[in-house]
A = this chain, B = another copy of it.
Amino acid sequence: MKVHYECFACAASQCGKIVEMGTDDLELRKKGVIEAAKLMANISEDSVPAIFGSEVFLGVYKVIENDDPFREYKELSNRLAEKVVSDLEREEIDLKTALKLAIIGNVIDFAVGYSPEKIEEDVKAMLREELYIDESEELFEALRNAKTLLYLTDNCGEIHFDRLFLKKLKEAFPHLEIYTAAKEGPIINDATVEDLERAGFEELGEVISTGTRIVGVPLEGVSEEFRAIFEKADVIIAKGQGNFETLSEIEDERVFYLLKAKCRPIARELGVPRGSMVCLRHR
């Protein structure tokens, strides 16, 4: 997906958040956004928002001298989501519900002072919503015939919902060789390999790094190791907007997107109303 007009103001607003979370020093915040302004001038009609944005954000990290401004936010998200998921796990959950939970996990902002009880309420309300595009049967069919699944994670917090979904996938398709990928290092609130390890993903399969801190899967930026697994996978589940933005650029029918169209550009690209949840095969 190429940049839409809304991506510019959105990236600028994220830079504002980054400097706020990254430093209390107003002068340093100002230096950070001035750096952002310089870097954002590199935008072109062919920029992919996830890649372009990440490059700007990493430049801002350097100037504000904070390599992980979202650290606390991510820790809180993981803690809360872990609690919520462990409560949900006590109930009987089928595979389709676990898939929806994996999408819902992407929606919740765990770190805005939410209580676990309130989150569970919200999760249950969202479970009653239908997927706007639902190709989950096709996904399950593909997995039945697959040897290898590559699961591309997105954010902290959300990964606990992913873990639940992967557990159900493993039960339903015990023959599957599962790889779960996360970022090489911190970038906004994306999960890193370390986050996956801490959340116990190694019990479910091999945890791998994309080899880059760029959001999504920028194929020209990933490691050779990742690339090899990407090539060999029979099915790829791509969570969230960043993975969609980068992978929609390649024509690859192995990819299934699981996401909520949180912003207008993604909704426009998918041809769905904003806010829709989808499980969609790339075609």
Contact = CB atoms under 8 A, between A and B. Distances in A.
Contacts of A44: 34
Nearest to A16: B9
Interface in A1-34: 3-9, 11-13, 15-16, 19, 26, 29-34
Contact of A8 (B5, B7, B15): B15
A40 interface: yes
A169 interface: no
A41 interface: yes
Contacts of A34: 8, 43-45
A51 to B, nearest CB: 15
Contacts of A26: 4-5
A181 to B, nearest CB: 31
B5 A29 contact: yes
Given A12-B12, A13-B12, A13-B13, A19 B5 contact: yes
A161 B33 CA distance: 36
A118 interface: no
Counting from the closest, the 10 A-B pairs by CB-CB distance are: A12-B12, A41-B41, A9-B16, A5-B29, A8-B33, A5-B30, A9-B12, A9-B13, A37-B43, A37-B40
21 contacts: A3-B30, A5-B19, A5-B29, A5-B33, A7-B33, A8-B37, A9-B9, A9-B13, A9-B15, A9-B16, A9-B33, A11-B12, A12-B13, A13-B13, A31-B45, A34-B45, A37-B40, A38-B41, A40-B40, A40-B41, A41-B41
